[in-house]
Amino acid sequence: MANSELGECLNGKIAIITGAARGIGRATAIAFAKAGADVVGIDICAPVYPRSGVKPATPEDLEKTGELVRAEGRRWFKVIQDQRSLSSLQATALQVENEFGGIDIVFANAGIQEFSPLLEMDDADWQIHLDVNLTGTANVIRAFAPSIVKRGGGRIIVTTSTQGRHGTKYGAAYSASKWGIIGLMKSAAAELGTYGITVNAVVPGLINTPLTRHEERYAQVIEDAGRQPKGDNTDEETAKKILIAKTPLSVPWIEPKDVASVVLFLASDAARMVSGATYDVTAGDSAHYS
């Protein structure tokens, strides 16, 4: 269902989005604002794990998201915060209640990704993924769900990954954390339904964001295809051709707005009877796993 078909389906709603500085988080903030919601954008806006090849978001990135939300005539409130701190998130929940009157929607989207061979992985490689992706997502739910309960119900959407639906070479920690998010989502759906809260997961494929558009990721795509990366600026184009050939819809990377449309649906009343479900946005890559 397109954004235009949903119209101002979130008119008057207050939405929390983590990982809001760019990518899927920013695209969803814009989609929510277009649909009538005021948006609270949370992002750490700092390096989380130095070994990762991903360039971190910045405070300027988060401010840009805010400008785009305000351009839609909606209120914006930014918070630079680490979701590994439950107490900090709980403090933000109280602040948002005071500023906006309550919380209706939570999109727990923030996460990290770094690749390490299983036999070379140290404790820090493993633990950072669990702490940020899995525990961090649980913290977001635990911190903000009580505010949704006070409103008499609402929506929680979490971001997992196709790599949470199948194994990933050199990505055991990431896959485990994202697979765990699906179990977390289903358990939360079972518990929170009695309060009128639906809980669902969106499953992005390879998205056109810094998380998947960097040299380390290009090299992995090339190696998975049985070829040798050159370690130069040709690797990006080689990876692009490989991804186009293997993806049923023949696209290398999916645009963040294509995921945001699905998140918007799950946040709307059109999805009021949908809970405990996973929604794949993978350009057809879902066909490759059972």
Q: pLDDT tens across 124-162, in order?
A: 999 999 999 999 999 999 999 999 999 999 999 999 998
pLDDT attached to residue 240: 80
- Residue 96 tokens read as 């948002």
pLDDT attached to residue 6: 75
| Alpha-carbon gap, residue 160 to 191, rounded angstroms | 19
Q: HSE of 247 in the Cβ direction (CA atoms, 13 Å)?
A: 21
Instruction: Report the share of the chain in percent with pLDDT over 90.
Output: 68
Query: In this predicted model, which residue has the larger pLDDT, 247 or 174?
Result: 174
Write out the catalytic residue numbers.
Answer: 174
* 269-277: long-range pairs with CB below 8 Å, 24+: 269/9, 270/1, 270/6, 270/9, 271/155, 271/198, 271/200, 272/198, 274/198, 274/200, 275/189, 275/193, 275/198, 275/199, 275/200, 276/185, 276/186, 276/189, 276/190, 276/199, 276/200, 277/200, 277/201
Instruction: Give the phi and the psi of residue 202 in degrees, each rounded to 5.
Output: -105, 140
H-helix segments, the chain: 3-6, 23-34, 59-70, 86-100, 123-129, 136-150, 172-192, 215-224, 235-246, 256-267
Q: How confident is the model over 57-84, as a mean pLDDT?
A: 98
Q: Which of 93-97, 112-116, 129-133, 174-178 has the lowest mean pLDDT?
A: 112-116
Q: At what angle do helices 59-70 and 23-34 cross, to 10 degrees?
A: 20
Query: In this predicted model, which residue has the larger pLDDT, 55 or 77?
Result: 77
Q: How confident is the model over 81-99, as a mean pLDDT?
A: 98
Question: 146 in helix, strand or coil?
Answer: helix
| Alpha-carbon gap, residue 173 to 161, rounded angstroms | 13
| Alpha-carbon gap, residue 110 to 259, rounded angstroms | 14
Instruction: Report the share of the chain in percent with pLDDT over 70.
Output: 97
Q: How confident is the model over 205-222, as a mean pLDDT?
A: 75
User: Which domains are present in the chain?
Assistant: 3-209+254-285 (3.40.50.720), 214-252 (no CATH)
pLDDT attached to residue 135: 98
Single-letter code of the amino acid located at 136: G
DSSP-assigned beta bridge partners for residue 42? 18, 79
pLDDT attached to residue 28: 98
**Res. 1: pLDDT tops 50:** no
| Alpha-carbon gap, residue 62 to 64, rounded angstroms | 5
- For β-strands 278-281 and 76-80, DSSP reports them as unpaired
Q: Are the CB atoms for 258 and 184 separated by under 8 Å?
A: no
Using one digit for the tens of pLDDT, what is the confidence trace for 158-197? 999 988 888 888 889 999 999 999 999 999 999 999 999 9
Q: How confident is the model over 52-79, as a mean pLDDT?
A: 94
pLDDT attached to residue 70: 98
Q: Which of 85-94, 118-127, 213-222 has the lowest mean pLDDT?
A: 213-222
Q: How confident is the model over 65-75, as a mean pLDDT?
A: 98
Q: How confident is the model over 80-103, as a mean pLDDT?
A: 98
Q: HSE of 215 in the Cβ direction (CA atoms, 13 Å)?
A: 10
Query: In this predicted model, which residue has the larger pLDDT, 27 or 166?
Result: 27
Q: Are the CB atoms for 121 and 173 separated by under 8 Å?
A: yes
How big is the CA angle at 61 (ends 221 and 202), to the nearest 5 degrees? 50
Rounded to the nearest integer, the mean pLDDT of the chain is 91
- Residue 232 tokens read as 């130069």
Q: Which of 105-119, 159-173, 199-213, 214-228 has the lowest mean pLDDT?
A: 214-228
**Res. 34: pLDDT tops 70:** yes
**Res. 60: pLDDT tops 90:** yes
Q: Which of 177-186, 237-246, 252-261, 264-273 has the lowest mean pLDDT?
A: 237-246
pLDDT attached to residue 215: 72
Give the highest mean pLDDT range of 73-77, 165-169, 223-227. Answer: 73-77
